[in-house]
C-alpha cells in the first residue's frame, strides 16, 4: 500500500510568498473598484485521511469591492481512509492464501466543483486582500483499489465488491480563507486554505487543502 509522506509539500513556497507580501502590495497600482473578475490556477497539499496533492482552477466575478462570487473545480489525488486500506488488506490476505502471494494499492481520488461567495476584508492603506469564503457543490469520490498476484488473474481468486471499487457522487460544502497579494497591474498570488466535507454514504469525507494560486485580474 502506498501513501503520501510529503506533508505540507508546498510550505517553503508559501513562506516565501508571505515574505513577499509587503513589496507586492506597494507595487500595486490598479484600484479594486476597477476590477470585474479574476481567474487562477492552484496547487495545494491535501491532508486528512492521508497526505496528498490537489490541483485545479478558480474564477470569480466582482459584485462590489468587498464581495465576489466564485466557482472552483479541482482534483485531489488521494483521500483514502484507513477503513479502505483495512478492507483491501483483508481481501489481499484471502488472495495470498489461495494464490501464494498478493499485493495491493489503495487510492481514493476526488474530483469536485464548488460555487459560492467570497468576502474581502477591507484594509486601510493596503492592497493586500485577506478574505473568507463559503460554497456548496458536488464531488465524485472514486474508490480505486487494485490487487495483483504472480499466480494469474486476480478475479479467479476473489471478487472485488463496491466497497473497494466504483464512484460515488455526493454533495459537498466548503469554507476557507486566505490572502490575495496583487503583483503589478494584472497578476495575483493567492495564499489559501480550504476545508471541504463530502456527504458520502459511509462516514463522510473531510478534506483540508493548503496551497498557492497564481492568477490574473481583469
What structural domains does the chain harbor? 11-19+35-217 (2.40.160.20)
d(CA 156, CA 32): 63
pLDDT value of residue 160: 84
> Residue 195: in which H helix or E strand, if any?
strand 187-198
Cβ distance 203 to 106 under 8 Å? no
pLDDT value of residue 31: 55
d(CA 99, CA 103): 11
Cβ distance 33 to 63 under 8 Å? no
Which of 189, 132, 175, 176 shows the shortest CA–CA distance to 18?
189
Secondary structure letter of residue 146 according to DSSP: E
pLDDT value of residue 21: 46
d(CA 182, CA 184): 6
Q: Tens-of-pLDDT digits for all 218 residues of the chain?
A: 444 444 444 454 444 444 444 444 444 444 555 789 999 999 999 998 899 999 999 999 999 999 999 999 999 999 999 999 999 999 999 999 999 999 999 999 999 999 999 999 998 878 899 999 999 999 999 999 999 999 888 888 888 888 888 999 999 999 999 999 999 889 999 999 999 999 998 889 999 999 999 999 99
d(CA 12, CA 209): 15
Which of 61, 59, 168 shows the shortest CA–CA distance to 108?
168
pLDDT value of residue 51: 95
For 172, phi then psi, to 5°, come to: -145, 155
pLDDT value of residue 47: 93
pLDDT value of residue 152: 85
pLDDT value of residue 218: 92
> Residue 16: in which H helix or E strand, if any?
helix 11-27
Amino acid at each position: 500500500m502506498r501513501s503520501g509522506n510529503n506533508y505540507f509539500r508546498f510550505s517553503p513556497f508559501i513562506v516565501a510568498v508571505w515574505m513577499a507580501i509587503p513589496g507586492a502590495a506597494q507595487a500595486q497600482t490598479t484600484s479594486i473598484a476597477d476590477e470585474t473578475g479574476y481567474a487562477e490556477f492552484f496547487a495545494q497539499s491535501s491532508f486528512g485521511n492521508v497526505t496528498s496533492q490537489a490541483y485545479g482552477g478558480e474564477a470569480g466575478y466582482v459584485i462590489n469591492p468587498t464581495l465576489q462570487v466564485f466557482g472552483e473545480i479541482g482534483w485531489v489525488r488521494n483521500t483514502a481512509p484507513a477503513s479502505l486500506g483495512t478492507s483491501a488488506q483483508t481481501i489481499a490476505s484471502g488472495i495470498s492464501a489461495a494464490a501464494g502471494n498478493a499485493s495491493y494499492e489503495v487510492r481514493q481520488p476526488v474530483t469536485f466543483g464548488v460555487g459560492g461567495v467570497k468576502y474581502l476584508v477591507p484594509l486601510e492603506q493596503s492592497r493586500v486582500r485577506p478574505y473568507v469564503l463559503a460554497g456548496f457543490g458536488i464531488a465524485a469520490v472514486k474508490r480505486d483499489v487494485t490487487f495483483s498476484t504472480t499466480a494469474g488473474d486476480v478475479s479467479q481468486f476473489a471478487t472485488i465488491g463496491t466497497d473497494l471499487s466504483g464512484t460515488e457522487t455526493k454533495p459537498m460544502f466548503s469554507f476557507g480563507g486566505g490572502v490575495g497579494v496583487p503583483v503589478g497591474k494584472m497578476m495575483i498570488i493567492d495564499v489559501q486554505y480550504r476545508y471541504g466535507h463530502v456527504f458520502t454514504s459511509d462516514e463522510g469525507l473531510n478534506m483540508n487543502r493548503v496551497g498557492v494560486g497564481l492568477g490574473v485580474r481583469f
